[in-house]
Structure 1
Amino acid sequence: MINLEQNMGREAFPEGAEIKPVMHHNSTSHHDKRQKESLIDENNDLEWAGTISIGTPAQSFLIDFDTGSSDLWVPSSTCTSSTCSSKKKYTASKSSTSAKKSGTFSIQYGDGSTVSGPINTDTVSVAGITATGQYFSPVTTLSSSFASEPADGLLGMAYPGISNLKQSPFFNTAFSQKKAANNVFAMKLAKTASELYIGGTNSALYTGSIEYHPLSTSNRFWQIGNAKALVGSKVINSGFQTIIDSGTTIMYGPPAAVKAFYAAIPGSAVYSGSTGYYTFPCNSPPTVSFNWGGKNWVVSTANFNLGRTSSTSSQCVGALAGQDLGLGNNVWLLGDSFMKNQYNVFSFAQNAVGFATLS
């Protein structure tokens, strides 16, 4: 929201929104050399990461691909904190295509974690797709919470309007340079065979047609409206906005809406171990789904269940939590717990998000 205000002005805010940190839980063409990047399920579905390269010659990094932000950063070789010790670091002097730019970059996430550093441009390659002169930050400070993160850095894949660098994100740069065949990318998130596909969709990973929904915002998030949340066949919440965010592990909604949602689940209760979380009986899990005017996209029992409250408990923790995200009182954030259930398509060409049934 801070980035949105800086880049587009206060009038760009949705009604009821305010500046608050957002919790970050952590087809073939002649353009196609590889076009798809295998993603690794890190730390039991904490995040999905893949390899990119920066510089000439290439320096490789393990990256968390985040549809909820728009900036690329990796640790710098000049980072001396212990947080950087286990991570791969970018050395600008070793790249013939590196250029230092004016200004500095910094960002703070909802758990209080921060990164900051200088601003550079260099050649960046993802899945065989290469963007030249790409803006990014080789960060020199990372807060201690990043020490346990499996990825070296983060690559944002949302719109330029929320870029803290105030520059074109990687995919937009690559498409403008005619490196990506189509102005679309797609993700499959699973225990195995996960994939980021650049410049189109991989039809081998889904069946049937893609159900597209137009974005309800411009140049911001992958946000679609007119959503419904269902328990079984009953609509519990309706008419709300949803941000599809691969950089968030679970799902979040406004506290009052989430309270009403769990009230429809027999045996559910507030989870005393953590603010905003609820439990449900492990032996009678709810059937949870979301709908945007097409089919019901079901969150599987396994993906809705974060585990038992203790090894001997009969109560399990739900993957939907109540959290005031500062995005307005009608906005939900659907992270990996939702995205794991279907093939997810992000279309700049149509300004739409699409879902398809996994094959």
Structure 2
Amino acid sequence: MLRTRWSATAASLVLALVSSWTAVFARQPTNREDGSRGFHLPIQRTRRGRWKRDGDIFDTGLGDVLDTTYTVLVGVGGTLVPLIIDTGSADLWTVSDGCHQCSTYDVALYPQRSLSPAGQDVDLLYGDSRTGTHASGPIGTDTVGVAGLSIPDQCFAAIVDTNTSVLETGSSGILGLGFPPISVIWRQLLALDLNGPVPTLTKRDVRPGPGRRTDAFPSFEFLNSTSSSRKRQDGSTPYTSAIDSFSTIGPLFTRLAALNILSRPLVVTALQRDTVSLGGNAGTLSLGAFPYDLTDDALTWVPVRGYRASEGGLPPSPRAPNEVYPLVWEIPVDDVYFDGVKLPRSALSPRSISLSALVDTGNSLIRGPQDIVGHIYALIGDSFDCSIPHNLSFQIGGVQFPVDPRDFAQPAAVRPGTVYPNEVARCSPALAATDPPRAGGFLYSWSLGDPFLKSVLVAFYYGNMTHPSQDPPRVGLLSTVPSDAGTALEKAVASAVYHGGVFPSTSEPAPYATPIEMHTLDDIPPPMTQGPQWAYSSGAARAGASAWATSLTMAVLVGVLGVLYH
């Protein structure tokens, strides 16, 4: 695994560049004739995209750790740190030089002396009903920037103690792209500002995501406290409602959108593949506009589920009592199919709860109801031959979005030099069970992690976060699975068998600015309105020897896959 190596001199030079970019970015840019503006950060090192303002072009990019974590360089004060992109959470944290065990890892550490403390410590809990990890440290503020966009007085946690596996991936922390209500930092600071009781940090405050308990649900009880109506000297309250605090103490991307720093409240992800069959999509994170000259009508759009106060959601503002706010990037799902057959609905989910899924870049697997996942395993059988392409598809907005078979198959770990018996590569599905939805908790049945997101370009549209009825949040999807995905899998398996049972995989850190080439729409397959018509050839050529120069054993991949933060 390659890791980012940081030096004080290099970091200072790059931060100087970031600062100069921020000054240039005071002007509003255009990158298409329709006037939309955005910043596109390629994830793939060899295929850089670019973002520009009024003719000024600047390059940056993201890292990819074995297709299980995708990172971006974020400027926190005077330090550049690689943070994991996580649409399943909303908190920003980075390890600091106050974390003694963190110094053994080759990652950038934020200097605590630069933090403007908020007088609060936070304990961010991760885990499911069987395991749990944490990241703890003081909350404070500093200037935070990404892709040349910076914002002062951004709240985050400077971690001094953690037992997550984030550091093992070469990352310094997590950049949550979720909505404010699930931010533990936001809830703590809001309670402090309202002079109410600070929310108790229990399992109810665990971030929703892969395998998370359904009782890991945000609590807003502190808003009902009689002491939360504290008045200032001029007779006003600190916030007329919790909604007013989004633009001041909210998560980074919430503030970027609320303050109109982005031309559109939009983040787009397209994750590339660096395992099993190298290549694939030109991975990109785009801020404020679409990449590849795409337009809205090229995507299938679906609404984000809102949670009413009666369902445990964020209470609305007194000025807008009928508003319903989203908690997570949760979207409706019509049906789920496996190898062309519609799967039954889970018996573990009440019929009164409609079928939905969380879209989560921080999840390295696809997670679903225990009985349905068990049903899929039963259909596959005890021996999962990697070379047999399987089609797991999610019908969303009337369109089927398949998972590329190269991402559905998770190769079994083998030692270098091991030859598969009978020249058959063994795999397991990239599937795991998650706790079922229930009233009073999160209502999604599925968590669509990186195997799904490598197959689909996803646009996360925040809309109007203070008045969502005026511009509702939504998610747009575009399938990127090629029609020959099944044949590509067979070729990859044949090549792995030929090379002693080892699949190729690469890992790249989040890079500094480098020369790049422009992306075009030709870099991704055309939109798919139906499931892929995969070719099932009887034998695949033993090809692709050149890809093995950068190969790592799949034992490393399997070790990182699974429960990312445990």
TM-score (norm 2): 0.52
Match of 1:72 in 2: 92
Task: Identify which of 28, 31, 54 aligns with 2:31.
Answer: 28
Question: How far, CA to CA, are the matches of 2:295 and 2:338 in structure 1?
Answer: 25
**Could you give the per-residue CA deviations for residues 269-318 of structure 1, whole angstroms, max 9, x where no partner exists?**
3xxxxxxxxx6333323211111232211111101011136544653200
Task: Identify which of 375, 381, 386 aligns with 1:268.
Answer: 381
Match of 1:187 in 2: 269
Task: Identify which of 98, 115, 137 aligns with 2:157.
Answer: 137
One-letter amino acid matched to 2:367: Y
Question: How far, CA to CA, are the matches of 1:225 and 1:250 in structure 2?
Answer: 19
Question: How far, CA to CA, are the matches of 2:149 and 2:391 in structure 1?
Answer: 39
Deviation at 1:357, TM superposition (A): 3.5
Task: Identify which of 264, 278, 303 aligns with 1:214.
Answer: 303
Deviation at 1:145, TM superposition (A): 3.3
Q: Cα–Cα, structure 1 residues 138 and 262, in superposed 2: closer, same or farther, change >3 Å? A: same
SS where residue 263 of structure 2 aligns? coil
- Give the stretch that moved more between structures: 127-136 or 59-68: 127-136
2:412 aligned with 1:308, yes or no? yes
Alignment of 1:138-287 (within 5 A): 138-143=158-163, 145-166=165-186, 167-191=249-273, 193-204=282-293, 209-217=298-306, 218-238=325-345, 240-263=355-378, 265=379, 267-269=380-382, 280-287=384-391
Deviation at 1:147, TM superposition (A): 3.8
Gaps in structure 2 of 5+ consecutive residues = 1-29, 44-61, 187-248, 274-278, 307-324, 346-353, 415-419, 464-471, 481-523, 525-566
Question: How far, CA to CA, are the matches of 1:68 and 1:84 in structure 2?
Answer: 28
Q: Cα–Cα, structure 1 residues 329 and 243, in superposed 2: closer, same or farther, change >3 Å? A: closer
Question: How far, CA to CA, are the matches of 2:71 and 2:443 in structure 1?
Answer: 31
Q: Cα–Cα, structure 1 residues 196 and 84, in superposed 2: closer, same or farther, change >3 Å? A: farther
- Give the stretch that moved more between structures: 303-312 or 240-249: 303-312
2:450 aligned with 1:336, yes or no? yes
One-letter amino acid matched to 2:300: E
Q: Cα–Cα, structure 1 residues 70 and 321, in superposed 2: closer, same or farther, change >3 Å? A: same
2:105 aligned with 1:105, yes or no? no
Question: How far, CA to CA, are the matches of 2:427 and 2:294 in structure 1?
Answer: 31
Q: Cα–Cα, structure 1 residues 237 and 355, in superposed 2: closer, same or farther, change >3 Å? A: farther
Task: Identify which of 398, 417, 423 aligns with 1:294.
Answer: 398
**Could you give the per-residue CA deviations for residues 167-209 of structure 1, whole angstroms, max 9, x where no partner exists?**
4111011122221111111101003632211112213479961
- Give the stretch that moved more between structures: 306-315 or 230-239: 306-315
Deviation at 1:36, TM superposition (A): 2.2
Deviation at 1:140, TM superposition (A): 0.7
Deviation at 1:256, TM superposition (A): 0.9
Deviation at 1:162, TM superposition (A): 0.5
Match of 1:37 in 2: 41
**Could you give the per-residue CA deviations for residues 13-53 of structure 1, whole angstroms, max 9, x where no partner exists?**
xxxxxxxxxxxxxx738895x72223345332111111110
Match of 1:15 in 2: none
* Higher strand proportion: 1
Alignment of 1:1-16 (within 5 A): none
Match of 1:50 in 2: 72
Identity, % of aligned pairs?
A: 24
Residues 245 and 336, structure 1, Cα contact 8 Å, conserved in 2: yes
TM-score (norm 1): 0.80
Deviation at 1:159, TM superposition (A): 0.6
SS where residue 399 of structure 2 aligns? coil
Question: How far, CA to CA, are the matches of 2:296 and 2:39 in structure 1?
Answer: 20
Q: Cα–Cα, structure 1 residues 92 and 314, in superposed 2: closer, same or farther, change >3 Å? A: closer
Deviation at 1:328, TM superposition (A): 5.6
One-letter amino acid matched to 1:46: T
2:138 aligned with 1:124, yes or no? no
2:433 aligned with 1:319, yes or no? no
Residues 358 and 444, structure 2, Cα contact 8 Å, conserved in 1: no
Residues 384 and 427, structure 2, Cα contact 8 Å, conserved in 1: yes
Q: Cα–Cα, structure 1 residues 235 and 112, in superposed 2: closer, same or farther, change >3 Å? A: same
Question: How far, CA to CA, are the matches of 2:435 and 2:446 in structure 1?
Answer: 9
Residues 98 and 112, structure 2, Cα contact 8 Å, conserved in 1: no
Residues 52 and 126, structure 1, Cα contact 8 Å, conserved in 2: yes
Deviation at 1:69, TM superposition (A): 0.2
Q: Cα–Cα, structure 1 residues 54 and 309, in superposed 2: closer, same or farther, change >3 Å? A: closer
Q: Cα–Cα, structure 1 residues 144 and 226, in superposed 2: closer, same or farther, change >3 Å? A: closer
Residues 252 and 332, structure 1, Cα contact 8 Å, conserved in 2: yes
- Give the stretch that moved more between structures: 101-110 or 137-146: 137-146
Question: How far, CA to CA, are the matches of 2:456 and 2:118 in structure 1?
Answer: 40
Q: Cα–Cα, structure 1 residues 289 and 207, in superposed 2: closer, same or farther, change >3 Å? A: farther
Q: Cα–Cα, structure 1 residues 144 and 215, in superposed 2: closer, same or farther, change >3 Å? A: closer
Residues 272 and 283, structure 2, Cα contact 8 Å, conserved in 1: yes
**Could you give the per-residue CA deviations for residues 200-251 of structure 1, whole angstroms, max 9, x where no partner exists?**
2213479961111101233311001233111132211455210000000011
Question: How far, CA to CA, are the matches of 1:70 and 1:243 in structure 2?
Answer: 14
User: Greater CA radius of gyration, 1 or 2?
Assistant: 2
Residues 331 and 475, structure 2, Cα contact 8 Å, conserved in 1: yes
Match of 1:8 in 2: none
Residues 42 and 48, structure 1, Cα contact 8 Å, conserved in 2: yes
Gaps in structure 1 of 5+ consecutive residues = 1-26, 270-278
Question: How far, CA to CA, are the matches of 1:289 and 1:254 in structure 2?
Answer: 15
One-letter amino acid matched to 2:93: W
Residues 207 and 356, structure 1, Cα contact 8 Å, conserved in 2: no
